Amino acid sequence: MAKRLLFYRLHIWLSWFFGLQIVIWVATGLFMAASPIDLVRGEHLARKPETIDLRGVTVQLPGDIAAREKKPVERLLLKTWLGRPTYEIHYAGGGAALVDAASGKRLSPLTGTAAEMAARAAYAGREPDATATRVDPTAIPLEFRRDEPAWAVRFHSAVVSTGGTIFYVSAETGEVLARRTARWRLYDLMWGLHIMDYGGRTNFNTPWL
């Protein structure tokens, strides 16, 4: 009788557990389906990139830039960064750098001030003031999830309880790697609950599934 009662109670608790997870799975799925993905990604906060106008500007040849590098270069990308022509250098063994295309001066790794300038230049929102904090490689924020040198540039806002708006800027290339907002954080939480990966929120193959 005692074993039957124990089995009955266990059955009830398991039913509640799996039933609740099914409800969460359906609810989070509906939430994500109803969320405009461009708003979740913060694309409305991204200013359109500058176009490159090389008229009247003398830039160094890619081969000359690559020849001065101590590491093998995989590719170079000519782009405008903060109103100046630059080369984004990617190395064959990994890593990247940013140099001024006219003078050849190395611009990376970026300082906090340069990261703030890059974030403000890429930001289309209403909060111009920002503060840059170097991402600690030993404690990478869950919302960033990228193992590369970066600055977290937080835009000042009256609403800070939700984490505010943060642009993660590469310390190597000056590019904005990620945009994080309160909407993104809520979506990410729903995503973690949906795939039942409550820690990293990236694993589809958790034991629960």
- Percent of all residues in the chain with a pLDDT value above 70, rounded to a whole number: 84
Residue 206: its pLDDT value, please? 62
Mean pLDDT (whole number) for 102-117: 96
* C-alpha triplet 42, 46, 48: angle, nearest 5°: 150
* 100 and 59 Cβ atoms separated by less than 8 Å: no
Beta bridge partners of 180: 166
Residue 33 tokens read as 């389906």
What pTM, to 2 d.p., does this model score? Answer: 0.85
> Worst-scoring range by mean pLDDT, 88-102, 166-180, 183-197?
183-197
* 163 and 178 Cβ atoms separated by less than 8 Å: no
Which residue in 86, 65, 66, 62 sits closest to 172, CA to CA?
Answer: 86
* 181 and 45 Cβ atoms separated by less than 8 Å: yes
Task: Provide the 10 A C-beta neighbour count for residue 149.
Answer: 18
CA distances from 209 to 13, 14, 126, 194 (A): 18, 15, 42, 10
* 107 and 123 Cβ atoms separated by less than 8 Å: no
Mean pLDDT (whole number) for 97-121: 96
Residue 209: its pLDDT value, please? 56
Q: Is the peptide bond before 109 cis (omega within 30 degrees of 0)?
A: yes
Determine the Cα–Cα distance for residues 172 and 84; give it in Å rounded to an integer.
16
59: left (phi over 0), alpha (psi -120 to 50) or beta: beta
Mean pLDDT (whole number) for 20-42: 88
> Worst-scoring range by mean pLDDT, 22-26, 95-99, 168-172, 179-183?
22-26
- Listed in order, strand segments (DSSP E) in the chain are 73-81, 84-91, 96-100, 130-134, 150-155, 165-170, 176-180
How many helices (H) and strands (E) would you count in the chain?
A: 5, 7
Tens of pLDDT, residues 120-173: 999 987 766 889 999 999 999 999 999 999 999 999 764 555 568 999 999 999
Residue 89: its pLDDT value, please? 97
